[in-house]
Chains A and B, each alone.
Chain A
Amino acid sequence: MVHKATAPRRRAAAVLVTLAVLPGGAVAQVQVPSSTVTPGVFERYADQVVKIEVVETSSSAKVSVGTGFFVTDDGAVVTNYHVISDFIHDPDRHRIELVDPTGPRTPLEVRAVDVVHDLAVLASRLKPAAHFDLAPISVAQGERLYSLGHPNDLGLSIVEGTYNGHLQHTLYPKIHFTGSINPGMSGGPTISEDGRVIGVNVATSGNQVSFLVPVDRAAALVRAATAPGYEPPDSTLELIGRQIMAYQAEYLDGMFDDSVRTVELGPFRAVTQPAPFFRCWGDSYREPELPYESVTHSCSTDDWLYIASDQWSGMVTVTHQLLTTESLSALRFHSLYSDVFGEDNTPYGAEEHVTRWTCGTRTVRNETSPLRAVLCVRRYRKFEGLYDAVLKVAVLGKRDTGLVSTLSLSGVSRENIDLLSRRYLERIAWR
């Protein structure tokens, strides 16, 4: 008993000794800076970060809260587009205000918007004593960064975190910041210890996984908005429509063309991983005594555009579901096939933003196979020429095997619906 009790105690003593012999300076470099540097960062840069509220005029109460930061000496503020989107969609019923907890509220005007990168430049009549510089800088993975903002409207806060490079599956670069960005901090800056902006807080997926818009995008927008002779757009919504149109033209260019990768599913071949910014997943459903098997292969973009609190755009998904049976008769297999084909996997839509779906069904024959194709289309009410489209395809001609394939596009032009539908139909084939 005595021996067992003393042995661990001796080991603990040994660890203490080891720590004690470490050079004191080394320990200080690892642990002390965050607790001594952070207050300094906060003190130096808090003045340049502001709270932004969108106020509903009839109730005089806020509908959204976000963060912004000064970028010029004549009071221009950078924030996220999504912080002020209520104002953009309904400017008659909203106003944007800069809120200083100690001073008066200052009205803000929209100077420029970049819906693709979720950025906005607002003009105030304030003359800040200091402002952030948006010069691009390079940062090493793991470098400590500080994010400033108003989490949940609780007052200006500083959050420490680390830089973890750019996301790998996005069409436009986004910075992966490991730190707790919370709602309300959107539009705030994430800076280095010496006050250089790395990115603009934009999103989180929880557990310290947060995302920033790289500073060069904000710098480009500020440069454009402060250039001599620049005039803000008459209709911000029209400008946003043009930005979505240009965005879809760019990222859909060449999609599903002859170079697209294909995947083999049972006797079928269909497209997969249409572009590097897609991610693909697979799953299968086999259960004992169940008279059929189902295998699913799906790919979707990670990117999406925030347009309004209940409208997103720019997502593309491709889903293939292979159905096979050994025991079902042809009639019963086709009941299953019809039900799977008839499942609704169209994206959400709000009445304010989109029309109802209008659908049509056709039999189409490509080089190898007869296909049943259903196309559903709905238009964006506020953006002429932009649509959501869902193409569902079933390969016909087998008594016991079928493939249901769905292509879902959001915020695309009629030319792209036409072109991509046809390319997609061409590329579903019997092996």
Chain B
Amino acid sequence: MALIVEVLDRVGTVLSRVRIGDRPLTVGRAFDNDVILDDMYVDARHARIHVAEDGSVEIEDLGSINGLVQLQGKERMPRLAVQPGTQVQLGRTILRFRDPDEPVPPALTERAAAGLPVHGLLDKPWWRAAMCIGAVALVILLSWLMLYERQSAAIAIGIGIGYLLFGALWCGAWAVASRAVLGRFNFFGHFAVFSGLTIPGLLYSSASAWVLFIFPDNPISAPVGFAVWLFLTTASIALHLGFASTMNRFRRWRAGAITAGAITVMFGLLAWAGSEVFTDVPTFNAILKPVDTRILPAKDVAGFSELVQELVQEADEMAED
């Protein structure tokens, strides 16, 4: 029975594969071995693999310091019969035996073959450029609409530049991480992710201000806003990881969700700690928008008493605490 021996590191990455023929193979750290292991815990001549007359394959310890350990058994063995699927540990290296007739899946596209997930629009240079320019333009436009001072345009452009600098720092950090993990920076990919998520974030917060003006103190805006924030944070981490790791889609989104959850818990704790601190500054909804006032749900003046009673009761409850 012919077999393939795979050399794996401890995390399971395949380092090399050697076909076992009729001739015995020597395994060790010395360069004259048939299977050379780059592992300080492996002897110069550690083991030998040979095929018996009946075709069965066996691995034999050549008196090494750390010996042979069958992975499932965790015990040191002087010799061991192997078949497809057997895994043996030598020092910190694992030898895995496989059947040469095992089928292999078809080749992937170039990007996936390099271990990188596929990103769709984020990989298309025109879309990247459109997202970056669109995000900066939106930041400047929305800033300008919020300003009413003499140099509003200059301040808005300054805010746009600040946004770009922040993005460069954020994406630069991701790019450095990508370089460490994958060997490439992917800076523009990260910048596309950053810009691509800024746009829905800004559009949502603008839309939400209008909703809060038309329906002040509504009970829905806050939870919806929180859900949108959670989604955008999760998506941000997941998409950045797409350019910075070889994780599959599920693991990337899970990592994003965990990060968003952790940030939520952190801010939740901060808010909880802060809620006990006394302040004489009120918080209230002061948003005003130019809408046709006929669409505003309004009450007559007599109906205002309801709010007075509600607030007085709340204040009484606070005083009695």
Contact = CB atoms under 8 A, between A and B. Distances in A.
A175 to B, nearest CB: 33
Interface residues of B, number: 45
Interface in B129-161: 144-150, 152
Contacts of A328: 148
Given A337-B288, A380-B319, A360 B282 contact: no
Contact of A379 (B150, B152, B319): B319
B300 to A, nearest CB: 6
A379 B318 contact: yes
Interface stretch (A92-100, A180-188, A273-281, A287-295): A287-295
Contacts of A350: 280
Given A363-B298, A380-B319, A358 B308 contact: no
Nearest to B213: A372
Contacts of A341: 286, 288
Interface string A102-127: 00000000000000000000000000
Report which residue of B278, B283, B315 has the largest number of chain A beta carbons within 10 angstroms of its beta carbon: B315
Range class of the A interface residue count: 35 or more
B286 A354 contact: no
Given A360-B310, A414-B308, A291 B150 contact: yes
Given A360-B311, A379-B319, A289 B290 contact: no
B41 to A, nearest CB: 65
Given A360-B217, A370-B298, A379 B316 contact: yes
Interface string B288-317: 111001001111111111011111101110
A352 to B, nearest CB: 9
A375 interface: yes
Contact of B315 (A335, A379, A394): A379
Contacts of B309: 414, 418
Contact of A373 (B146, B281, B283, B304): B304
Interface in A318-353: 325, 328-339, 341-342, 344, 346-351
A422 B301 CA distance: 6
A169 interface: no
Instruction: Summarize A's interface: helix, strand, loop or mixed.
Output: mixed
Contacts of B303: 362, 364
Nearest to A289: B150
A355 B216 CA distance: 24
B284 interface: yes
A268 B299 CA distance: 21
Contacts of A372: 216, 288
A350 B296 CA distance: 37
Nearest to A414: B312
Contacts of B149: 290-291
B13 interface: no
Contacts of B216: 361-363, 372
Contact of A292 (B148, B298, B318): B148
A394 B289 CA distance: 11
A351 B319 CA distance: 10
Interface string A21-40: 00000000000000000000
Given A289-B150, A422-B302, A396 B318 contact: no
B280 A375 contact: no
B286 A374 contact: yes
Contacts of A380: 319
A172 interface: no
Nearest to B145: A331
A373 B304 CA distance: 9
Contact of A357 (B282, B287, B290): B282
Nearest to A290: B150
A380 B282 CA distance: 16
B285 interface: yes
B141 to A, nearest CB: 10
Interface in A377-411: 377-381, 384, 387, 390, 392, 394, 396-397, 399, 402
B290 A334 contact: yes
B287 to A, nearest CB: 5
Given A357-B280, A396-B296, A342 B304 contact: no
Contact of B284 (A291, A347, A376, A422): A376
Given A378-B315, A384-B319, 17 more contacts: A328-B148, A332-B145, A334-B288, A346-B282, A351-B278, A360-B311, A362-B216, A362-B307, A365-B300, A366-B301, A376-B282, A392-B284, A396-B288, A414-B308, A417-B308, A418-B309, A425-B301
26 contacts: A291-B148, A328-B148, A335-B148, A338-B286, A342-B286, A349-B280, A350-B280, A356-B282, A356-B318, A358-B311, A359-B282, A359-B311, A360-B284, A360-B310, A363-B297, A364-B301, A365-B300, A372-B216, A374-B286, A376-B284, A377-B315, A384-B319, A387-B315, A392-B286, A417-B308, A417-B312
Interface of A: 289-292, 325, 328-339, 341-342, 344, 346-351, 354-366, 370, 372-381, 384, 387, 390, 392, 394, 396-397, 399, 402, 414, 417-418, 421-422, 425-426
**Nearest 6 A-B pairs (CB), nearest first?**
A342-B286, A357-B282, A349-B280, A359-B284, A361-B216, A330-B290
